[in-house]
Amino acid sequence: GDSVTQMEGPVTLSEEAFLTINCTYTATGYPSLFWYVQYPGEGLQLLLKATKADDKGSNKGFEATYRKETTSFHLEKGSVQVSDSAVYFCALTLSGGYNKLIFGAGTRLAVHP
């Protein structure tokens, strides 16, 4: 069935380091892909999205490119800050199935000064 697989955390980085969080998916059809972020004690917020192959989503210095050939949507940021410490969720919506998000397990990121 349709699913999302993320790299296990926690990911621990120093401030200004480069970040990559891997995400791969399995889906029939052509899903839309998302990254959501959850800060401590809060609900999830949409970080970025891409709706078709080769699209790049970007927001707040984060980027992810929809790669159909590798079924991937890896999250990257060139220089992380302490304030980026959070849990990051990769997700997809099913083609033809309205709005039903399927989430990965989440990856916790801890950034130290």
Partner 1 sequence: DAGVIQSPRHEVTEMGQEVTLRCKPISGHDYLFWYRQTMMRGLELLIYFNNNVPIDDSGMPEDRFSAKMPNASFSTLKIQPSEPRDSAVYFCASSPGTDTQYFGPGTRLTVL
Under the binding rule (CB under 8 A), the answer on residue 58 touching partner 1 is: no
Beta-carbon contacts of residue 41 (< 8 Å; ≥ 6 apart): none
Under the binding rule (CB under 8 A), the answer on residue 113 touching partner 1 is: no
User: Which residue in 41, 40, 26 sits closest to 90, CA to CA?
Assistant: 26
Cβ distance 89 to 38 under 8 Å? yes
Please select the residue that binds partner 1; options are 46, 53, 60, 78, rule is CB under 8 A: 46
Q: Would you give the binding string for partner 1 spanning residues 85-104, x where CB under 8 A is met?
A: ----x---x----xxxx-xx
Minimal distance, residue 113 CB to partner 1, in Å: 27
Q: How far is CA 26 from CA 53, 81, 90, in A?
A: 14, 31, 12
Under the binding rule (CB under 8 A), the answer on residue 40 touching partner 1 is: no
Interacting residues with partner 1 (CB under 8 A): 32, 34, 41-46, 49, 51, 89, 93, 98-101, 103-106
